[in-house]
Chains A and B, each alone.
Chain A
Amino acid sequence: MAANFWESSHCNEWLLDRNKIEESNSKDKSYLTPMELKRLRTHYCFVIQNLGNALKLRQRATSTAIVYFKRFYLKNSFVDCEPRLIAVTCLYLSSKVEECITQAKKCSAKMKELDHTFNYTMNDILECEFFVLEELAFCLIIYHPYKSLPLYLQNSGLDMASIEIIWGVVNDSYRTDVCLMYPPYVVALGCIYLGSYLLKKDIKQWLSELNVDMKEIWEVSKELIDCYEFEKLSSQNPSEPDFLYAKLPIRNKK
């Protein structure tokens, strides 16, 4: 939605600092090391992304769902709330909010195709939707960096063909916590900065002329690099999420 970001709940209530984000999944910390927890959290971002693709939802809805998922676990833990169910529910809810509605039945069916151990039904999703809504404090509109990307690219003199790479970087940024910490325009600039580096183009001059905090932009790109490195490492052990999941004494498992 195109309402005013500066007056939004996203800007005024939901830009969090790192301490706040460290409080996520508090109870899971008794069972997993921080590294393992990070691995599992990243894994569910992939789950949401894959399910969103399978349901042919717009990327925007998928990205919104990932933000919902992250916000939900700020106060909750995997052991209390089955992460796969929450992931599907977040995606279902975001499909409604982003006006590309899908059916709860389809969501659970597709999820079962992707993950055969997923035994939750449509009704579980519908019931869970309430919990998610409440935990999100009914703040549903999420602002994304996508909208400002073409404008920035044009303005920075980067070639429009580079948008594909940078668009991909923005998508990847949802696996980090930058979407919880920084306003979307900072995330967009951070991704452009990283993209320009990958494309071997120098846009430092352009960035320095912007009235933005370079430190934040640098932090965003640093988070992204960390994330890429982390994923490179964890890709050596693809079955780890299942192992970690089994390790958690999740209640109400189905």
Chain B
Amino acid sequence: METTNSANQERQQHETLKDDPTNTSSGKEFIAHSNKPQPNGHNNHHVHHSHQHQQPQHHYHKENPHQQQQLQPPKENPQSEPNVHQPVITSQMLSSIVHNVSNMEHIQYNNYDIPWGSKSVETYEKIEQIGEGTFGQVYKAKHKETGDIVALKKVIMDNEVEGFPITAIREIKILKELHHPNVIHLREVVTSKASTANNQKGSVYMVFEYMDHDLNGLMDSPAFKYFSPQQIKCYLKQLLEGLDYCHRNNVLHRDIKGSNLLLNNSGILKLADFGLARPFNSADKRMTNRVITLWYRPPELLLGGSHYGPEIDMWSVGCIMAELLSKKTLFPGRNSIDQLDKIYQICGSPNTQNWTEASDLPYWETLKPKREYPRQLREHYQSENKLYFTKEAFDLLDKLLCMDPKKRITASEALDSAYFWTEPLPCNPKDLPQYPSCHEYRNKKRIRQQQQPQQGQPAQQQTNQQQTQSANLNLQQPPPPNYQGGHHQPNYQNGNTNINYKKQRTDINYQTNQGGPLQPPGYNGKAPYGSQSNPPSNQFSNQQNKPPANRIPSNQPTHKNFPQNRPQQQPNQHR
């Protein structure tokens, strides 16, 4: 106690000193109120401290603060005799000193080095892993005091040469500023202390509100067949509202895809994963061309364009819309060449009439259409359910999937389109059905667990950390109740399905990863929904042929966070 008291006294004295107008410029404000001299014990303090404090080396003239509206240019020679000021303490100064002293108690004094981890992740209790972001694992967690359920997104720091990853910086800086019902809310950023378990490196977690599903997870679940036209409109409308907000605030999302659209059981859709997002303004020069997951990537990026704007997100919205309406991926390209080809076949080949600037794009000469295709978006969906593919829906889809980015519809125009204002109107989010929680990641994980015995290679050579992690997950994460129904469970244990599945995956993904030079980080590839010849009207029978919802080939080594999938030499790489 004594020490603190004396420390307080000392601070008080410093404050007194600090407010001494002979010493500081800040004193001048107080003179502004009154010039009454009140030499109140000031000298005592001064003397008392003279052994500690050097007299300020510079005094300078203080302007008369009363001439408020007239500016004085900097004085040539401030004051020839700087020491003429009398010590002046006014009543205002006294009260201000008292105020400052009482304030002092609120100042945090660090008696040791900076308290790293002051906002600790310890305030949350991890429940289970629910996903993989562009740059980190995502956990469901509970606040220990309030009981709030949140999602914790860990920032992966391994292999980072340039410190805190730029993607995390972008995501944090952007999400700190965006506040919209359809944009994921970043509650706070917390840290964990360095320990031997994490290689003496503290980690950083972003704390988000918890969302029950992601769109891909939901579409892969049996519940998907219940998506009604109203429901699709409701989701699309929210997607566009969130995106419109981002675009109005000059933020490009640059990775719109199903697994980045989160849904909760109140029917609210939120844009998430801003790891590739960045601010833009029209004056901006080149931006990186390697953005957006391949299947949702617009033709101008595939052709190498690096001057772009909000239009690129709108193309992805078009792909999502087509996917929601038809339950099939519109352009499931294997690599960027195949992707462009698929686009040409459906959206027609670009030419100088319908897209004047196409020929200026870097890869135009090499990747331009080999032959002329007519635009046959409508024909492509001719056999589809007319309840979903109404005239208004086609009109909007046509404008979203416009080849020329300049002519592509904007988010706010899309919100005004007839699609959202004709029957059936978008339903109220609150009226949407509730689903058991499903995330794409969990679907993947379920498959992995079932595949593991067949692979015959238990993950024994992995690091301890990984083992405990996967063990925990196994314990904590039983498959959701509805997956235990007998409909499709047996399929996954059927060896044939798996072999078939692996083959398909190899076809789809390996070429993507090798051939496509433009993979954004975290791109997983994605299994198509059923084969094209099988209309997905009957979900359950369709799933017999459908590759499991797992979007990770079991032997693909690119995903370091799936311990079971790692090739055995991995532990060496992992420090």
Contact = CB atoms under 8 A, between A and B. Distances in A.
A35 B71 contact: no
User: Which of A97, A138, A198 has the most chain B CB atoms closer than 10 A to its own CB?
Assistant: A138
A29 B114 CA distance: 18
Contacts of B68: 215, 218
B11 to A, nearest CB: 8
User: How would you classify the secondary structure of chain B's contact residues: helix, strand, loop or mixed?
Assistant: loop
Q: Which of B69, B163, B250 is most buried by chain A, counting CB atoms within 10 A of its CB?
A: B163
Given A34-B24, A36-B56, A130-B116, A1 B78 contact: no
Nearest to A223: B25
Contacts of B72: 225
A140 B176 contact: yes
A230 B172 CA distance: 38
> Which size bracket describes the interface of B in this complex?
35 or more
Interface string A83-113: 0000000001100110101011000000000
B114 A76 contact: yes
Interface in B118-164: 118-119, 162-164
B195 interface: no
A155 B347 CA distance: 47
A240 B10 contact: no
A189 B7 CA distance: 42
A160 to B, nearest CB: 17
Nearest to A72: B114
A152 interface: no
B326 interface: no
Interface stretch (A19-27, A46-54, A178-186): A19-27
A120 interface: no
Contacts of B2: none
B447 to A, nearest CB: 36
B109 interface: yes
Interface string B14-56: 1001100001111001000000000000000000000011111
B565 to A, nearest CB: 30
Contact of A35 (B24, B52, B61, B164): B24
B484 interface: no
B166 interface: yes
A4 interface: yes
A29 B14 contact: yes
A18 B174 CA distance: 28
B280 to A, nearest CB: 8
A221 interface: yes
Contacts of B109: 26-27
Interface residues of A, number: 68
Given A1-B177, A8-B177, A80 B110 contact: yes
A133 interface: yes
Interface string A180-223: 00000000000001100110000000000000001100100110
Contacts of A30: 10, 14, 52
Nearest to A252: B113
Contact of A233 (B11, B78, B251): B78
24 contacts: A2-B249, A3-B178, A9-B177, A22-B18, A27-B109, A33-B17, A33-B55, A34-B18, A34-B23, A34-B56, A38-B24, A76-B114, A101-B166, A104-B163, A138-B176, A197-B71, A222-B71, A225-B71, A225-B73, A225-B74, A226-B25, A230-B58, A234-B58, A252-B113
Interface of B: 10-11, 14, 17-18, 23-26, 29, 52-58, 60-61, 63, 68-69, 71-75, 78, 99-100, 103, 107-110, 113-114, 116, 118-119, 162-164, 166, 169, 172-174, 176-179, 189, 191, 202, 204, 249-251, 278-279, 281
Interface of A: 1-4, 7-9, 18-19, 22-23, 26-27, 29-30, 33-36, 38-39, 75-77, 80-81, 92-93, 96-97, 99, 101, 103-104, 125-126, 129-131, 133-135, 137-141, 193-194, 197-198, 214-215, 218, 221-222, 225-226, 228-230, 232-234, 237, 240, 251-252
Given A34-B17, A34-B56, A80-B114, 9 more contacts: A29-B14, A33-B55, A39-B58, A80-B113, A96-B164, A104-B163, A134-B191, A218-B71, A225-B63
